[in-house]
Every structure is written in C-alpha cells, then in structure tokens.
Structure 1
Amino acid sequence: MVARRRAICIGIDEYEGEARLDLCVADATEVADYLRQPEYGFDVELLANQEANLPNIRRALLSVMNEELEFFLLYFSGHGMVTELDAFLVTIDYQPLAEGVSLADLARYTEKISRNTKHCLTILDCCHSGAGQFGQSRQLVTPEEIDRGIPARTESRSLLAACRPEQVAIEDSRYGHGLFTYMLLEGLSGDAADPHGNITVGGLSDFIDRNLEAMGAEQIAVMKGDSAGRVILGQGFSPIAVDNLPEYEKKRIIAQGKQFLEDYTSQLTNHPEDWRNHGHRTASQLLPPTLRWFERQRREHKDLRVDAEFSQLYAAVTNRVKQLAEIDLGTDVEEGVVTRRIGGGGFGTVYEVQRANGERLAYKVYHPTEYGDSEKKSLFSRGYKAMQQLDHPRVIKVKKYTEAPIGFFMEYVDGPNFRDLPNIIEGPVEVLQFLLLTAETIAHAHSRPVIHRDIKPENILAVYRADDNTWIPYLTDFDLAWFDQATQVTKQAWGNISYSAPEQMANPRSAAAHSAQVDTYAFAQLAFYAVTGSDPVPVGRADNSRLLQEKLNSWPVGAAARKFVDWYDRCSQSRPYDRYANFRSAMDELADVEAMIRRANSTTVTPRVALNEIAFALSGFGAAGKIDVSGGAFHSTSGRTSIALTASNVQPSTHGDKFDLEARLSLDRITIEGNASNERKRARINNRIDEVVRSMEGVRRKPGNQGTFETFISISSVECGYAGIQRARLSLSHVIEAIERT
C-alpha cells in the first residue's frame, strides 16, 4: 500500500483595515491546484480567508499528526508578525495576544508529524512589501525568526522561505502572485524538472533562486534542510538535462537531424498541382515523426536549444510545419479536399473539407504565425482534448488531431454564428429559449467538468430548423477551456475583453480564472448581446444595466424584465463569489424569466399543457406539443436519458387543477467509468438521485427493473400553472443531471 501525501495550503487576504492583502488566496489556491495534479498526488486541504482561523489550522495539523504519510507539505501565504514573545503566522481571527500560529508551535507540530512521515516541507511566503502594520511595536516576520522557530534537523524536514532576513518579499500584481510564489508555481509546472523528469525539493529551491536572480529581484529565497537524498516532490515531467552533451554526441544528433530533414524533403514535389492533389497529404504524414524527434532532443538536452546548428535545423522543420498551415482551396488534406474557408479567430483558421463520400467536415488549423508561442499552442491542443470529453448533441464533436499542420477535424455545422443573429431572433421568448438551450450545453460541459472560458457570440453556431421556425445553438471553440486533467494553468490573459470575467483578465493564473464562475459571467454578457444587439461595456456594469432596461421596455411582462436585469447584475458582479453559487443556479433563474413571459396570457393551464411545458424544459423543442395526459416519451437534451411523463389523479382546485406526475427515466448505456458491475453502477446512480430528492417536498424515487437502468420519480400535487411547472422542471432536471453525471 502506497503511503498518502497530505498538504495544507493557507492563504489570507481579508485582514482588517490597512492590513488587507490582495494576492495571498490566489497564491494558496494555485499551489493547491498544482499539488492535486497526478504528478504530485497530494490530498490537499485549502484554508482561505475566513476558513483560515486558528482553530481550523490547528485541527488540520492535528489530523495530519495521527496519519502515516509519505510526504507532508504546509504552505502559508499571508501576514507574519513578531511580538516580544514570539513570531507568528497571522490568522484571519487575529486579536492582540492571540495573533495566530506561533512558529514555536509550528515547530512542535512538525516535530510530531515527522515521527510518522518520511518527508516534511514547510513553504512560507509571509513577508510582503508595503503591507499594513498591526501595531507600532510589531513588525512583519522575517526568515530570521522562521529560522529560529522551525529548526530543520534532518533531510526529511525542510523549510523554504521567501527571502533573507534583511529583505522583504515582493508582491506584484502583474504576475497575479507574490514574486516568490510566482517562481514556485513556474517550478511546480515542470520547469524545475531534472534529467529524470522529477522535481526535487532541492531542485525547486535552486530553480527559484536562479530565476529570482535572473529577474534582478532584490530577494533571495532561503532553503534550510538537507535534501541531498533527492527528496522527490513530483515526477513524470518532461526531463530537462543539466549536463552538457559530449561534443561527439552533439555531432551525432545534428547529423541524424540533417538526414531526417533530407529524407523528408526528397519525397516531396514542388509542382503546385501535384502539391494540391497529393503532396500536402504526403507531407502531413511524413513530417510528424521528424518533428517529434527534434522536439524530444530539445526537451531532453538543454544545450541543444542554444546550439546554432541544431537550432537552424529545428527552425527548418518548424518552418515546414508552418508551410502546411497555408492551405489553398482544392488541397487534398488527410480527411478530404478543402472546398472553402469558413472563417477564423484568435487561434486558427477553419476550412470546410469534403470527403469522397460527400460528408462535410470542418478543419481548424492553428495560425502559422503563432508557432513561437508555446502557451498558445498548448491551449489549442487543450481545447481539442476538452471537446473530446463531451458528447452532447449540441457541442461540436471533434475527430482527428493533426501535428503537421497543427489542427483538428470536427463536425461541420451549416449555420452562422450568433454574432449574425440578434436581428433575426427578436421575440423575448425566442431569445430566452435560444439562450437556455445554449446554457444547457454549458451546464453539460461543467458536469464533465470542463470550463469553456470563452463564451461569446462567435463561439455559438446556429442551425435553422424550418419545421418549427427555430434556431438551434451549437457550442464550439474550446481553445481556452480548463478541465481536471489539464496540467498547466493559463499564464496570459486570453479572451474577448467584453465577455471575459475580470479575474480572467486581471489574474489569469489564479484558480478563480479557471473556475465555472467565468462561464457564468460570460454567459450573462452573451445574454446582454442577445437582447441589445451590442457588446457589453467591459468596465461599465451600470451602463450595461441602463441599456438593458431601455431594450427591455418592449417585453410584455414587466416583472420578467426586472427579474432579467437583476439576474444580469448578479451574474456580472466583479467578484466571483458575489455571482450565483454555480452555473446551474444561474440557468434555473433565467428559465424562471422565460416561463414568466410565456405564462403572461394565462395564469393557469390544462394538465396537458403543463406536461408539454415540463417536457419542453427537459428536452427543448423536440418534445414540444407531443405529450398527452395519458403519457408521452422523449429524450433529455443530451439524448442520453429516455423520459416518459404521465399525469394521474387530476383534482380540480380554485386556483386551477392539480395532478400527480410520474416520470419514468431510463438509460440504454451507463457511462460511469470503472470496472464495477452494472448493479453497482446502478446503485451509485440511485444514491445520487436520493441525495437530490431528499430535500424536495413531495418528490419520491421508486426503483425500476427494466433494461440497463430504470427509475421512477413521482411528484405529488403539481399545480397546473407557472409555479407547478417550475417545481416539476427543477426537480426532474436536477435528477436527470445526477443520472447523466459521469
């Protein structure tokens, strides 16, 4: 059995008054995100702001003390303080004579933890320039006090602090972190890896020192403790060689590179017609192995990166890849013939490709002018991987990825993007239904969990359905997406400034910039565009609200218009935690607005109309008008869950009829991963459903026994009106989400 790795990450910004800090929670959150990744494998407890009080920190340390661990790591970013009695890491519940965790106490905790733990590492970034004082007789803690308070006596106990005693640590908003933690994160991302692909404690310290010095920073990180035994913090990264290659080995590699390049060039044709007919396809198949060989050599041998002759060969290879990205119409590529240029964006150009059987595909090719931007190339590849994880019928499906040129084939959708539609979709109900169908695709992505991070009109395609005069949205372009398996956070601010959340632009490396809240913000701006036909002002929330109110004067229901403005204001709050708790909650509130408008002509409806309204909410236009009181079957919007609704026990009431609703929900295929039996997977799904319905009044689950998975949800006394429809819609949509969650 492999011993566990545990980490406690603490970040505090919300000190009172002038003592408030800005970047410490971002520091701790992102360190925690890295430590959770498979390369490190830590179970992380994050304590931020109000959670980082003295009792919680003590509880967390005591819980670690009783475990047998392979590695324990403590990270702290916040204020430090020195009093006449001791040095302290200042907690959020600071009071005079109860300042926080003393370094003497921390030393005792570390001593006891190390009895059952092979390696202990303490990382402290608590000396901030310009930070407020807590009193005239107090000063910020320095590594001198840390050095006295936390002795590191063995190789298994190490301390890494932000600066030397006579210095202060620098907090720079350009990096979104304290400078020490910024360099720490660069190292954790893999840049501090050794020739074996490992990140050691000593190697991480050396990396931080080198880079602080290279930046000219007036601070030097302090490392105390003996890590000569190669204490491995993370592993599985791309190896980075330290020793220079022997001259004969360098010559051998360069000669081999020349031969690869000559072999590739000799098999190509220069005739334009031959190039379009088969040359481009041949080059796309021959070049990737050569490219991968060159990139491996550069990754594994650092001195080759600065060798002029090898660099010239590598540039020649990458130039050939760039040439393949310049595609003429009529060119035969791997999946067919390029018939037209569809459009382009910040990451690539999209072409229409026709296969021999007549099937059309879209081919997105990375911009050849951006090949030198390694982060942007990585994001492009990550967008493809994000789309691979999604199987919603209205999320564009990706197919084959190509290395030369960098690009991928995907499903072709014949329709304009939403930028061209506001003057076509005008009615408030139609606009809201289009937005709700878009929101459902975003919610599906979040359930995987994939955060899109670039919701804007250009990334919503629309297909016109003539039989019911309806535009259906498709979600595409996941170049900025973030998901659990992604191994590197975005370092630069990407996205459209009118649609990107403030935290995404101001602090792109932060965990907040990679959370679902950025999609909530962007979706609200998309809704603004849908209603007004113009882009929102990036920093003018009040101006946006005023324009919304002017446009909404034509809505038939004033209460719905007011509710929409309130919804927009909440979704577009500057601080993520002031928005809705999750995207599903924001989506539910918008559905409430849409339902208010549709019920304007009648406060009560027949049971049949009520059933059809519920079916529309669960399936979109596919089920509209098809459900009778005696029953009707359709599928959820994802197409994965089969739904049958039945109304019974209809009871007249002074406020309209009431009825009991039963929904049969079934799956043809269970998509939960793992080797468990179907019986155990069914039990897992039923447990999820029980968790959801437990808090819902009048809602019960009854087991089914047909097919792969079947269950029945009964809802008693559903009112034939707006409130009853919303109650049933919310109950069943949350149950379906629990069923379809992987």
Structure 2
Amino acid sequence: MRHAIVVGINQYRKSPLAYCVNDARDVADSLTLDNYGYDCDVLLNAQASRSGLRRAFTKRLDAGGGETLLFYFAGHGAVIRRTPYLITSDSEEWEPGISFSELSQVMEEAAEIYRNVISVLDCCHAGASVLWANSKTLSRSDFERGIPTVNESRCLLAACRAEEKAVEDRKLEHGKFTAALLNGLLGDGVNFDGQVTMFDLAKHVAASLGAAGGQVPVFKGDIAGQVVLGDGFPPRRGKPLEGGELQAINSKAQKFIDDYHQVRLKQKFDLGNWSNGGARTCAAELTPKLDWFLRTMEERPEIKNNRTWVNNFDQVVDYQADLANISPGMLTAVGQALRLIGSGGYGRVWEVKLGENGERAAYKVFNSDHLHDKLMIKRFRNGYDNMQKLNHPRIVRVRSFTTAPYGFLMDFVEGDNLRKAYINRDNAEVVLRFLSDIVETVQHAHGHGVLHRDIKPENILVTYGAEGSGPIPHLTDFDLAYHETNRTITTNLGVGGVINYAAPEQLHAPTTQAARSETVDVYSLAQLMFFVLVGRDPQSDSRDGNIAALTKSLNAWTDGRVAQSLIRLYESATFREPGDRLQTVQEFGAVLGQAEAQVLAASGLDAIAERDFCNRLGHLVAGIGKYYATEDVMETRSLSGQVDVSVRIKDAQTKKNTLTLRLELELSAAENIPMPQMKSGHIARERINKRLDKLFKGDHRVARHPGNKGVYQVFLDILDVPSTLEGLARVRDVLAKAVSGIEQW
C-alpha cells in the first residue's frame, strides 16, 4: 500500500500565500492516478495545524506501514532561533510549527514500517522572512543540517531559494517548484522503463527550474533511482538533444507556427467564411502540426526545458484553444455544429451533423481555459479511454478523439437527460425495470475495471422503446467526475448536481482509496434511486429526511414488502462510512431484483405455476419483448448483447407443500463479444471458469460443468429452486453473477 500526507497552506495570519492549496490538491490528484495508486490524506489551511499534522503522522505510523509513505508540504518555511521549521496554519512565534528535527524523527520511525519514506517540501515562498523579527528564509544549508540522515529508503526533495522573492507562476496558479514536480509526475519525469523514480523526478525538476532561471532544488537519497513512485507510463524514447538538433527542432516549430498563422489570417479575415469552412480548414491544418509538437515532447521530453520551445508550444495551444470556440451552424473538425446540448467543468457538448448523410453525433469539446492544466487534460483523456473499453448498448459509445480542438466524438442519443425526462412513477414495474437496467450497466462497467464516480440524472440519457416497453437509460461521462468534483463542490451547493449524488468521501476526502472504490457508485445509485422514486434531488445533509420522503412516496405502492425492501436498500447503501454500506453494485442489484420480482406478483401470492415460471423469469430478467419462453424454456441475451442465456426446467417436485424446480442454465459467449484472447482457447476459458467457481463458492445449490460450443460455453445446475417470487429472485441473481463473470474478459 502507498500512502501520502499532502499539505497546502495559503491562509496565514501574517503573509498569506496564493497557490499552495492548488499545489497540494493537484499533487494529491496526481498521486491518485492509476500509475501511482496512493491513498492520500489532504490537509488544507486550518486543517494543517500543528496538531493536525501530528495526528496525520500518528495515523500512518499506527496503521501498520506499507510500501511507501510520501509527505508533501506547500507553505511557509523559516529558520527561527537557528531552528528550521515548516510553518503550520496556527503558528505562533513561540511555537511556529513542525521543526525539521521532528520531521526527521517521523521519517526515521516511518522507515521501520515502510520500505520507502519520501519528503517533498515546497516551502521557500515570499514573506517567510517577515513572519517574525528573528526569522529568516530557509537555505540549502538548513535542509542539509535539519534533515541529516537520508538513505536509499528515505528521500528528500525540496525547493530552495535564498532570496525572498516569491517563486510562483500566476499563469499556472502554482509554485514553480510544484509546477515542475507535477509535470514530472504526469509523465515528463518518466524513464526508459516507463517508471517515475525519485531520482528521475528530481532530475526533471532540477532541469526545469534551471531552465526557468536559477532555482536549485535539494535532493538527498536514492541516487541509484530505486525508489519507484509510479509506473505503467509509455517509456521515454529518444536520446538526449544536442545543440544543433535543438536549433533544428525549434526552427521547424517556428516554421509550423508561421505557416499556420498565414492560413488562419486568411480564414479569419472573413467572419462568415470562418463559420462556413474556415474553422474546419484551420483544424485540418493545425492537427498534424499539433500532433508533431506532442510527439516531439514525448520522444524528447527534455525539450520542454527550453524556453524557445515552450514559447512556441504555448502559441500552438492558444491556436488550439481558439478552435474550441464553437457556435451554432459552424463547420467544425468533425461536422456542422447544430446546437449546444450541455456544458460542465470539462467543457461543452454539441450536437453535430456528420457528412452528406446528415447523421447526428455528439461532440464533447474540452474547456479551452484549462488547456494548460495537464492533470485535467489527463483526466479528460482517461474518461474517453475508459468509455472506449466498454461495449454495452446502455453506455454511450465514443467514436474518435480530436486534438484541434481537444475533444471526442460520441453517439448522439435522441432524448433528454433523466432530470428532464418523463418517468411514470406510479408504475412500479416500469420504474424498477428502469433502475435495474442502470444498475446492470454500472455493474458491467465495474466488471471491466471502470468506475463511474458521477452517477446523477444529468449523466443518464433517456429514450423510449416500443409502446409499453418503458424508458431506456443510456449512461455517459464515465470516470470524469473525480477531478471535477474536487474543484466544483462550492459551486454546486443547493442546486442539485455533484453534492447531492456524490458519496461523502468524494467531497471530503477525494484523494483517498475510499473515493476510488466501488462503494462510491453504490452510494450514488441509491441517491439516483431516490430521485427516480420521489421525483426530486435527495438532500445531501439529511439522510433521515431522505428516508422519510422515500417512505412517503412508496406508501402509494400497494405492496408493502416492495416498499420496505427499497427503503432498506436505500438505508444500507447511503451510510456515511464506506465500510458500512453495501460493498458492491452486484449486491445492490440483487436487492433491487427481489423487489422487482415481488412487483411481478400481480395476484399478491408468492406461488407461481410451473407453466408460468419461465415466462415470469424472462419478464423479470429481460423485460417485455426481449425474451422467448415456453412452459419449460426461457431464452434471452444479456443486456450488453455479449452472452446468450437459456434456462430449462429439468425436474419438478413438491417438497413440504412447495413446488421445487431443478434448473439448467446454459450461458455462451455471443459472436460479438470482444474477447481477442479467447482465440487462445484453453487458458482464457479456464480463467472464466475459475472466476465463476469463486462467485458461487459456498453455494452448494449451484454446480458448474463445462460446455464445448463456440468460443465459450458453460452450464450451471441450480437445485431446490422454489417456484415462488423468492425462487425467481434467486435465479435472477445467479444469472446476473454468471453473466458478469463471463463478461469480465
């Protein structure tokens, strides 16, 4: 396990700072990327008191250790009475904060239970020398003297500048040291093995600050580069630049800019021409040039330390931002913009018309104001990549990515989002089928390692099928909200959106492992269920009030058992502590399925005739018109379209006055299931079989035996199934688990 304590302080009583909170937030966000996987405790402003920092240290020292402990601090640092300190938010002249000797002691204790202990300190800021009359700014010798013992398992990387002038970048809203650090963490510090080590990161920071003009960081420790912070990046390519080659690259960059500038001037001269083809011409002209810039920086990352290159690239990004300014009727890089569908923290979504045939698509264009925010850009691209992994009819399909402007094209869904759509809340069967479809879709995504993290009405588009089939949900914007939630919480209070549906840990501890776990989506699904059943947003600060409102709405339903099941489901999924909730979406879906089965008992009696069982099961599992059933067989296809399902009644006996069935479930991979590794045969099939065995371990009433049809086939025997509502719900649960296990290719 990798742990981090991340501190940022702007709010000092004397000499406040500007960007330390931004520094800390973005460092924590970077460390929680999949390449790093840190569980971060973030302390900002008043939270970063002397006692707050000591509690954070104690928490980690008492937790049993792990692979790495990283401590990051952005705030004032000063030497007072010859003792160097990290200045805390509650500092007083007689007790200014955490001394370097105390920090060194914590590092020493942590080294006994962590393999690596790392301190990263950005505490050389303006005003540190005027906090008190007898204080002075930290110098290199203070770091050397204050934290003397650092070995290969303990590393120190610190900003340092002797003069008092602030070293901050107003354009990026970061301290320059941390700006370089963030660039290194986001890929600029990667080595030839696709890793970011402490040594490579320190080398990158030193080169960046040196190119910017003089600031020299302090690095002590693992000079062999064995402390690996993160991995899984594209390996660094190319050889170091030489003088003549650097000049040639910059000359080529300048020529690209000059050539594009001439094209842009020609297209911009006539405003009407800009909308009727000029913008599209410029996008086509800029795309290969921008791709060359990006490819060059990937192959030769050290060029980003060259000021001429940086200025040229900034100019290209400005051109890129200009192409994001779309208006209705404009011919864009992908087609004609028809209307603005929606907007959010990441950008805007346009309905566009493609080509001669007039096909409609949706074009999500990144916010041009954030094109210099590498972390936000990476999150946006991750969202596209994650949606591309998912092949499911209830997940909006992404098609292609564009760099000029920065955005991606996806299928257009002809329907409103759930907040605007009509749902017949008086029809319990329709409502529960709609919710079950959403839950199954999220479960499918989880099976492929993709969390949603932003389940709310605005991210569910609704269409309507044939008469009587009810509303159909389509989910979008997977894995985009984690970064956005952290930035927009203050703008969403009381108006719906993030704060009403996000789990508490997303809002208050967004950089912890808990905020990246499946229970986040469990919580949001429960709040979405509230919205669907009640017709308004849940109150983020009143769980008891939500339960009362849900109870009042469900009192109109005739079956009290269904109402109680849904109320208990909401309660069990919305506990404040993630560990107290239902832990998986599969568990959530099982309870919802039981409620749906109860609704299907139109007579109010549990018993189901044998001849009706398969038909009732098909209705419960697939819905109207989506299954075939006889008296002893039910056939359907999973919601994703990737698994064919057959259920057969093999035997029926009466036990203790209850009709009891033995069922055979046949599941086989459909032809369109995207499993390239299945072609290798035996190994892939064994992987799925082991997964199914694990899912049904301990359930002696379910037995698996293999099939030999097609790409993959399996049979499950289910024993002692009562021909009742309870039996229907049980079979549905077995089917849901089995399909999920197969689709996790």
Report if TM-score (shorter chain) is over 0.5: yes
Once the two structures are TM-superposed, the CA of residue 401 in structure 1 deviates from its matched residue by: 1.2
Residue matched to 1:724: 727
> Structure 1 pair 108/581, CA: closer, same or farther in 2 (3 Å)?
closer
Residues in 1 aligned to 2:484 and 2:197: alpha-carbon distance in whole angstroms: 21
Pair 1:201 & 2:198 matched? yes
Residues in 1 aligned to 2:585 and 2:315: alpha-carbon distance in whole angstroms: 47
Residues in 1 aligned to 2:398 and 2:501: alpha-carbon distance in whole angstroms: 25
User: For residues 263-274 of structure 1, what are the structure 2 equivalents within 5 Å?
Assistant: 264-265=263-264, 268=267, 270-271=269-270, 274=273
Once the two structures are TM-superposed, the CA of residue 565 in structure 1 deviates from its matched residue by: 2.0
- One-letter identity of the residue aligned with 2:69: Y
How does the TM-score come out when normalised to structure 2? 0.70
Residues in 1 aligned to 2:251 and 2:28: alpha-carbon distance in whole angstroms: 46
Once the two structures are TM-superposed, the CA of residue 527 in structure 1 deviates from its matched residue by: 0.8
- One-letter identity of the residue aligned with 1:446: H
> Structure 1 pair 728/53, CA: closer, same or farther in 2 (3 Å)?
farther
Q: Deviations over 1:641-689 (max 9, x none)?
A: 1111211322245644222211221113464454872233223222222
- One-letter identity of the residue aligned with 1:554: A
Give the secondary-structure state (helix, strand or coil) at the position aligned to 2:555: helix
> Structure 1 pair 278/244, CA: closer, same or farther in 2 (3 Å)?
same
User: For residues 293-442 of structure 1, what are the structure 2 equivalents within 5 Å?
Assistant: 293-294=292-293, 300-302=302-304, 304=306, 311=311, 314=313, 316-346=315-345, 347-421=347-421, 424-442=424-442
> Structure 1 pair 606/211, CA: closer, same or farther in 2 (3 Å)?
farther
2:714 to 699, 711, 718: 711
Once the two structures are TM-superposed, the CA of residue 710 in structure 1 deviates from its matched residue by: 1.8
> Structure 1 pair 282/109, CA: closer, same or farther in 2 (3 Å)?
closer
2:612 to 590, 605, 609: 609
Pair 1:737 & 2:724 matched? no
Once the two structures are TM-superposed, the CA of residue 404 in structure 1 deviates from its matched residue by: 1.3
Once the two structures are TM-superposed, the CA of residue 583 in structure 1 deviates from its matched residue by: 1.6
> Structure 1 pair 552/714, CA: closer, same or farther in 2 (3 Å)?
same
Residues in 2 aligned to 1:397 and 1:407: alpha-carbon distance in whole angstroms: 14
Residues in 2 aligned to 1:574 and 1:184: alpha-carbon distance in whole angstroms: 37
Give the secondary-structure state (helix, strand or coil) at the position aligned to 1:282: helix
CA contact (8 A) 1:121 1:160 kept: no
Once the two structures are TM-superposed, the CA of residue 387 in structure 1 deviates from its matched residue by: 0.9
Once the two structures are TM-superposed, the CA of residue 612 in structure 1 deviates from its matched residue by: 2.7
Residue matched to 1:135: none
User: For residues 549-564 of structure 1, what are the structure 2 equivalents within 5 Å?
Assistant: 549-564=551-566
User: For residues 469-484 of structure 1, what are the structure 2 equivalents within 5 Å?
Assistant: 469-478=469-478, 480=480
Once the two structures are TM-superposed, the CA of residue 145 in structure 1 deviates from its matched residue by: 14
CA contact (8 A) 2:451 2:521 kept: yes
How does the TM-score come out when normalised to structure 1? 0.70
Residue matched to 2:69: 75
Residues in 1 aligned to 2:234 and 2:710: alpha-carbon distance in whole angstroms: 43
Residues in 1 aligned to 2:499 and 2:112: alpha-carbon distance in whole angstroms: 49
Residues in 2 aligned to 1:622 and 1:35: alpha-carbon distance in whole angstroms: 45
> Structure 1 pair 238/458, CA: closer, same or farther in 2 (3 Å)?
farther
> Structure 1 pair 628/256, CA: closer, same or farther in 2 (3 Å)?
same
Once the two structures are TM-superposed, the CA of residue 580 in structure 1 deviates from its matched residue by: 0.9
Residues in 1 aligned to 2:389 and 2:742: alpha-carbon distance in whole angstroms: 17
User: For residues 533-572 of structure 1, what are the structure 2 equivalents within 5 Å?
Assistant: 533-572=535-574
Residue matched to 1:20: none
> Structure 1 pair 437/608, CA: closer, same or farther in 2 (3 Å)?
farther
CA contact (8 A) 1:392 1:441 kept: yes
Residue matched to 1:529: 531
Once the two structures are TM-superposed, the CA of residue 121 in structure 1 deviates from its matched residue by: 4.2
Pair 1:678 & 2:681 matched? yes
Give the secondary-structure state (helix, strand or coil) at the position aligned to 2:641: coil
Residue matched to 1:287: 286
CA contact (8 A) 1:491 1:509 kept: no
CA contact (8 A) 1:331 1:337 kept: yes
Give the secondary-structure state (helix, strand or coil) at the position aligned to 2:462: strand
Residue matched to 1:189: 185
Residue matched to 1:619: 622
Once the two structures are TM-superposed, the CA of residue 737 in structure 1 deviates from its matched residue by: 1.2
Give the secondary-structure state (helix, strand or coil) at the position aligned to 2:631: coil
- One-letter identity of the residue aligned with 1:525: Q
Residue matched to 2:509: 507
Give the secondary-structure state (helix, strand or coil) at the position aligned to 1:638: coil
> Structure 1 pair 251/440, CA: closer, same or farther in 2 (3 Å)?
closer
- One-letter identity of the residue aligned with 2:383: G
CA contact (8 A) 2:444 2:743 kept: no
Q: Deviations over 1:172-200 (max 9, x none)?
A: xxxxxxx9xx9999587247728988744
Q: Deviations over 1:10-32 (max 9, x none)?
A: 689xxxxxxxxxxxxxx999969
- One-letter identity of the residue aligned with 1:628: T
CA contact (8 A) 1:490 1:509 kept: no
> Structure 1 pair 53/452, CA: closer, same or farther in 2 (3 Å)?
same
CA contact (8 A) 1:451 1:481 kept: no
CA contact (8 A) 1:363 1:407 kept: yes
> Structure 1 pair 491/497, CA: closer, same or farther in 2 (3 Å)?
closer
Residue matched to 1:444: 444
Pick which of 356-365 and 490-499 moved more. Answer: 490-499
Once the two structures are TM-superposed, the CA of residue 732 in structure 1 deviates from its matched residue by: 2.0
> Structure 1 pair 35/184, CA: closer, same or farther in 2 (3 Å)?
farther
Residue matched to 1:584: 586
Give the secondary-structure state (helix, strand or coil) at the position aligned to 2:351: strand
Residues in 1 aligned to 2:277 and 2:108: alpha-carbon distance in whole angstroms: 73
Once the two structures are TM-superposed, the CA of residue 542 in structure 1 deviates from its matched residue by: 1.8
Once the two structures are TM-superposed, the CA of residue 147 in structure 1 deviates from its matched residue by: 7.9
Q: Deviations over 1:183-232 (max 9, x none)?
A: 999587247728988744345468899999xxxxxxx99965461x5557
Once the two structures are TM-superposed, the CA of residue 526 in structure 1 deviates from its matched residue by: 0.8
Aligned residues between the structures: 617
Pair 1:642 & 2:644 matched? yes
> Structure 1 pair 621/124, CA: closer, same or farther in 2 (3 Å)?
farther
Q: Deviations over 1:316-375 (max 9, x none)?
A: 533433333333444444444334433333431221324423432222223344445443
Q: Deviations over 1:469-491 (max 9, x none)?
A: 41111111226167xxxxx9987
Q: Deviations over 1:152-185 (max 9, x none)?
A: 4xxx555549999xxxxxxxxxxxxxx9xx9999
CA contact (8 A) 1:660 1:718 kept: yes
> Structure 1 pair 584/369, CA: closer, same or farther in 2 (3 Å)?
same
Residues in 2 aligned to 1:314 and 1:663: alpha-carbon distance in whole angstroms: 59
- One-letter identity of the residue aligned with 1:364: K
Give the secondary-structure state (helix, strand or coil) at the position aligned to 1:430: helix
CA contact (8 A) 1:455 1:519 kept: yes
> Structure 1 pair 636/532, CA: closer, same or farther in 2 (3 Å)?
same
Residues in 2 aligned to 1:368 and 1:455: alpha-carbon distance in whole angstroms: 25
Residues in 2 aligned to 1:506 and 1:394: alpha-carbon distance in whole angstroms: 31
Give the secondary-structure state (helix, strand or coil) at the position aligned to 1:426: coil
- One-letter identity of the residue aligned with 1:699: V
Gapped runs of 5+ residues in structure 1? 1-7, 13-26, 39-47, 61-72, 79-100, 111-119, 126-142, 165-178, 213-219, 483-487
CA contact (8 A) 2:107 2:117 kept: no
> Structure 1 pair 590/397, CA: closer, same or farther in 2 (3 Å)?
same
Give the secondary-structure state (helix, strand or coil) at the position aligned to 1:497: helix
- One-letter identity of the residue aligned with 1:436: S
CA contact (8 A) 2:107 2:154 kept: no
Q: Deviations over 1:236-285 (max 9, x none)?
A: 57799999989977974674354343354367474455444443332221
Residues in 2 aligned to 1:331 and 1:269: alpha-carbon distance in whole angstroms: 13
